[in-house]
Every structure is written in structure tokens, then in C-alpha cells.
Structure 1
Amino acid sequence: MKALILRWWDSDLAWSWRNTPVAYLSTILFALLLVGAFGAQWVAPHNPFDLTTVELLDALLPPGWMQDGQWNYPLGTDSQGRDLFSALLYGTRVSLLIGLASVVLAMTVGIFVGLIAGYVGGRLDAFIMRVADVQLSFPAILIALLIDGVARAAMPQGMHDILAFPVLIGAIALAGWPQYARTVRGSAMVEKNREYVQAARVIGVAPPVIMFRHVLPNVMGPVLVLGTVHLATAIITEATLSFLGVGVPPTSPSLGTLIRIGNDFLFSGEWWITIFPGAMLVLLVLSVNLLGDWLRDALNPRLN
């Protein structure tokens, strides 16, 4: 393990990371957000969703540095007396989990479909790409809204909250798979004409083995970059759906849900209820986007 870490530290990618201030600053920011989100039960001073600890008399308290604020609630409280700082940590965890799961699912579907389209070609390739072109002609948020609405209409009313997370992940993933499919298809069409693929065909290696054992590792570079950028898009899509009221249930709010709740108090003076969740969402998406931009430049041979 130590040798593997040292080998990576001496690689060109690690050298690029060490010499790019934006890269390691965004990495530090993203790491802090990850620790705060997935360690919320230890980092957060309160459990905002434990009703036995919520004090209604502390509702709508301003941040601790303002008049009437309490440092026990450093970022203030919402209309139910929940600590906003703790709610942000738990909400960030929900947003990250949904974003990561939807990216993994979209990447899996896109890679599988793109490999088949690029390697097989012909009518199957044309059909898959026309489906992807039609879907790409619509904004991803509309596709996710359509899929989410159809799924909710098909489910019993009592199952909405239980299946909200799988439906939301599936909707975001199905809205994002065409980008991976087109990227993998283009790379697979180039790789299938390489000498190592032709040699594998000559010795009788099965096409599925060639696709997944030989072609796939050589097309993963652009896919990883796309996945990093898509994570930010997935988080924003989830926040938009939750803001519109069709995302996660209120019992497990994400950053989008917290922004929607705080929007009702924005013009009544309790600005912190919506400003701080919005700022957390901006920091999360910004750190992921900066990492994606650095990774794209670091893996681009024309810039090295």
C-alpha cells in the first residue's frame, strides 16, 4: 500500500496536482465538506431531526454573532428551532449521496451502451445515438422531472417517501447517461481499430472480453473527467427538484429542500435560513467543478 501511494505521488498527475494551487485548494475544500457531511453525527452540535432535542422556543434565532443570537446555534435556527449548521451538514450528506449514486448509475449505463454502440456499429449504433440525440435536445432537469413525475404517478401514495431516493437517483441518472454513451462510443470507435484489438480478434478472443477487458480501460480517462463534472450537475439537479418540491422527503432534507424552506422567510428578515444553505450548495458545486476542470487539463495530453 505504501509503495502504491509513493508511486502515485511520483506520477505526472500528482505533480500536476501539487503545482496547481486551485487543484489542492478545491481538494481541501471538498475534503472538509465530505468530512462534515459523512461525519455529521460526530461533527454537528445537534441532531436537527431528533424531535426530542428540538426546542420550539429557539425558533428563528439569528446567527450567533448577531443581536439575540446564541453561539449554541452558530448559524441560527429555522422556524422549528432546528440548528441550521447541523441541518446543513446532514443536508449536504443527502445531496452528496444522491449525486454520487446517480453519477455511478449514469456512468454504468452510459459506458455499457457506448461500448456496444462504438464496437458493434451499424444499425444498433445509429439507433442508440439517435435516442441519445433526442434526449440531449431536452434540458436534463426536464427529463428528470418527467421521469420523476411518471414514477410517482405509478406508485401508491403511501410509497412516495419510501421510494423517493431510488426514484430521484434513477431520474437523474437516466437524464445523464447520453453524455457518457457518446464519449465512450467515440473513444471505442478509435480503439477498436488499434493493433492490440486486431491481435485479440485474430487469436479468437470473444467480443465482450475485448470490449470490457481491452477497450474499456483505454477509454476511462475522459469518462472520469466527465463523471467529476457530472457530479456537480447531478447535485444541482437534485437541489432543483427538491426546491420544486418533487425531490427528497422533508424528513430527510437535502440542501435544495433547506433552500426551499428558507425561501418562505427570505423577505421577512430571517435571511440566514436560505442564504447559508445556498452558500453551502455553491461551495460544494464550486469545489467539484474546479476539481473536474483540473482533472480535464491534467489528463489532456495536448496540454502536457
Structure 2
Amino acid sequence: MTAPLDVSGASAQVPPEPTLSGADRAVQGRSLTRIAWMRLRRDKIALAGGITVLLLILMAIFATPIINLFGQDPLEFNQDAIDPNTLLPLGAYGGMGAEHLLGVEPVNGRDIFSRIVAGAGISLLIGFLATIVSVLIGTVMGVVAGYFGGWVDQIIGRIMDVFLAFPLLVFAIALVGVMPNEGFGLEGNGLRIAMLIFIIGFFSWPSIGRIVRGQTLSLREREFVDAARSLGARNGYILFREILPNLMAPILVYATLLIPANILFEAALSFLGVGINPPTPTWGGMLSEAVRFYTLPHFVIFPGLAIFITVLAFNLFGDGLRDAFDPRAH
């Protein structure tokens, strides 16, 4: 009779499982967001644009402490920095120095650096909020038109054509020009900011609406939509749980490209004198005031450079996002 096998002690130890490496290791799945981030990290120009955008947002949020630390009250008249005979800034290069980093304005002597920092908050606020309004309206209209098609698509398409053919700049000038000083519980520049956000956002939604409509037309024919429909999913579930999450990437990219256009539009209205009321600083308003003093280049260069850097940074970052989310990119 055979003796029982002793499995106790060192002989009972289970040998370790072999570790897989190289080609034997399972391939780890990666989400679209992770793939886009890996592509974006390789695009140094887009990263530089994104960092610049982040710095501009931080400057707008912390405008007050930045002004207190490096500048002066943007509304304060510094007559001691102005020549009483010529009404031009004292000193070289428009009065630039330790006290006024970018010089002062002629006649009134207001600090240019402080006014540019303060104006960033208004420009970015209008640009961001107007973009949110246009993205919300455009996304809803585009998804509904693309998903349901038929007469719904025809009606929404004609509405888009009417808005795209509308002379937005002329309408904005006319509406803001006759706007009262009080209304809707707001007054002064608060009412003007709300009106600019409404005009820019409400009348610029068809451009993003067309993009969302085209993407929805493609997504509604995909297999996962057919599978959800075959399982009895309602239209609301398919729109908000299946189609809309797949539209977030193109919506994000186009919103990034739409913000600088809205900032430029606000600057153009302020330049034409129908934007924010002075003396509240805006970049467009500063350019409008600088036209009278064409012999002082610093008065024109610095607010113009602020607009140029902001628009360029958003465009570079938006182009990088578009390439990063493009599934055909290598």
C-alpha cells in the first residue's frame, strides 16, 4: 500500500505565476480623452497657446491684486505724470517706468497697465459667456435637426440661413446704440454687458449648429444607436446618453475657436463707441481713444498687442485640440 504524499512544509509551496512582458502582456485600452492628451502634449505650439490662455484667465480673475501690486487704480487721473502744456506723458516712451510699467494715457494720465489688466476681465467674460450661449443653442438645434431630419431639419435649416444672412454688426450697433440706461433689473455697464452677451451669443449659434447637425447625421447611423433603438430606448435617451457624449469633442474644439471671434466682436463694438461705457476700461475702447493720439505708439501698441496675443493663443490652442481629437490624425 502506497504511503500518503506529504504536502506540508516547503514542498507545498505553489510556484509563482510567470510574469508576462513585451508582446505577451495584454494591450491596455485607452480612452479618446487620453489619446487626445497624448497627441496634444506633442504639439508644443498648442501647449504654449493653452498656457497663455490659462495665464490670461488667471490675470482676469486676479485683476485686483495684480493691479494693487504692479499698477494703480485704472480710473485714477495722474496729472503729475502729464505735461500741463502739451498734455502728453512726461518722460521717455510715454512715461514708462517703475511707477507706470506701460506708461500712462495722454491728457488724463491713467495707468495703461492697470487698464489692460482690468479690461481683460470684461473681454474674457463677454467672450466666454457669449460662447456658452451660442454653444447651448447651437448644440440643441443641431442635434434635433440632425437626429429627427425631415420637416424638422428643413425648418431649423431655414432658421439657420436667416441668422447667417443677418447683418449682425449693423444690428448690434443699432440695438446697443438705442438701449436705455436701465432695464431688466440692470443698469449702466451691467446692462450693456448682458446685452452684448445676448446679441453675440444668440446670433452666432447657427455656425456651431451646422457642425453639430452634420456630426449628428453621421452618429445616428452608427451601430450603437441602432442597438439602443432595438432595445427600446426612447429618443431622449438616445440623444442625451448616446449621441451627445460623442459630440463633446467637436463642440469643445469649436467653442475654443469661437471665443476669440467673440472677443474681437466685443472689441470692435467698443472701438466703434457702442460697447462698454467709458471710463470702464476695455481693449477696444482703449484703441478707440488712442486713435486721436497717433503720435504716441505705446498708447496703441499695448491694447492692440493684448487683443492679438489673446486671439492668437485661443486659435493655436483650438487648432491643437482639433488635431488631437481628430481620429484620422497620426
TM-score class, shorter: 0.7 to 0.9
Shift of 1:86: 0.9
SS of aligned partner of 1:277: helix
Shift of 1:34: 2.2
1:213 aligns with 2:238: no
Q: Partners of 1:49 and 1:205 in 2: how far apart?
A: 57
The residue number in structure 2 matching 1:46 is 71
Aligned to 2:131: 103
Whole-angstrom CA distance in 2 between matches of 1:148 and 1:229: 24
Residue 206 of structure 2 is matched in structure 1 by 178
Instruction: Mark the runs of 5 or more structure 2 residues left unpaired by the alignment.
Output: 1-29, 83-87
Residues of 1 paired with 2:250 and 2:96: CA distance?
A: 49
CA distance in 2, matches of 1:50, 1:212: 48
The corresponding residue for 1:66 is 93
Task: Report the CA distance between 1:219 and its aligned residue.
Answer: 1.5
The structure 2 residue matched to 1:280, chosen from 290, 306, 310, is 306
**Residues 57 and 26 (structure 1), Cα distance of their counterparts in 2 relative to 1, 3 Å cut:** same
- State how many pairs are aligned: 288
How much does 1:148 deviate?
5.4
Aligned partners of 1:67, 1:201: CA distance in 2, in Å?
68
TM-score, structure 2 normalization:
0.80
Aligned pair partner of 1:156 in 180, 184, 202: 180
1:47-82 Cα deviation digits (max 9, x unpaired): 43454xx322324426x8638643200111113221
- Counterpart of 1:90 in structure 2 is 118
Contact 1:148 1:168 (8 Å CA) reproduced: no
For residue 132 of structure 1, what is the amino acid of its counterpart? M
Which has more radius of gyration? 2
Partners in 2 of 1:174 and 1:144 — Cα distance? Answer: 13
**In the alignment, residue 180 of structure 2 is paired with which amino acid?**
P
Find the aligned partners of 1:135 and 1:144 in 2 and give their Cα distance. Answer: 12
1:254-277 CA-to-partner distances (Å, cap 9, x unmatched) read: 2111111111211xx222112110
Residue type matched to 1:72 in 2?
Answer: E
Runs of 4+ residues over 4 Å off in structure 1 = 157-160
Q: Name the SS of the counterpart of 1:264 in structure 2.
A: helix
CA RMSD, 1 decimal:
2.3
Q: Deviations over 1:175-200 (max 9, x none)?
A: 32011111111111121222222232
Name the structure 1 match of 2:10.
Answer: none
Residues 122, 85 of structure 1: alpha-carbon distance in 2 compared, 3 angstrom cutoff: same
Provide, for residues 71-99 of structure 1, a one-character-per-residue CA deviation record: whole Å limited to 9, x for no partner.
20011111322110111011111101100
Is 1:194 the counterpart of 2:222? The answer is yes
Deviation at 1:111, TM superposition (A): 0.3
Q: Is the 8 A contact 1:161 1:248 kept in 2?
A: yes
Q: Corresponding residue for 1:32?
A: 55
Higher helix content, 1 or 2 = 1
Any idea what the Cα deviations from partners look like across 1:260-301, whole Å, max 9, x if unmatched? 1111211xx222112110011000100110011111111111
Is the CA contact (8 Å cut-off) linking 2:145 and 2:152 kept in structure 1? yes
Structure 1 residues 290 and 67, CA, compared in 2 at 3 Å: closer, same or farther?
Answer: closer
| Corresponding letter in the other structure for 2:116 | L
Q: Is the 8 A contact 1:61 1:70 kept in 2?
A: no
Structure number with greater CO (CA < 8 Å, separation at least 6) is 2
Task: Give the Cα–Cα distance (whole angstroms) in 1 for the partners of residues 62 and 304 of structure 2.
Answer: 21
List alignment gaps of at least 5 residues for structure 1: 1-6
- In structure 2, relative to structure 1, the CA distance for the partners of 1:151 and 1:87 (3 Å cut) is closer
Residue 236 of structure 1: which of 264, 268, 292 is its match? 264
Q: Following the alignment from structure 1 to structure 2, what is the Cα–Cα distance between the partners of residues 47 and 132?
A: 46
Alpha-carbon distance in 2 for matches of 1:156, 1:98? 20
Q: Which residue of 2 aligns with 1:4?
A: none
Distance in 2 (alpha carbons) for counterparts of 1:92 and 1:68:
22
Q: Given the superposition, is the C-alpha separation of residues 245 and 152 from structure 1 closer, same or farther in structure 2, using an over 3 Å criterion?
A: closer
2:140 corresponds to = 112
Q: Show the counterpart of 1:77.
A: 104
Which amino acid in 2 is paired with 1:70? G
Percent identity reads 34
Q: Within the alignment, does 1:19 sit opposite 2:42 as a pair?
A: yes
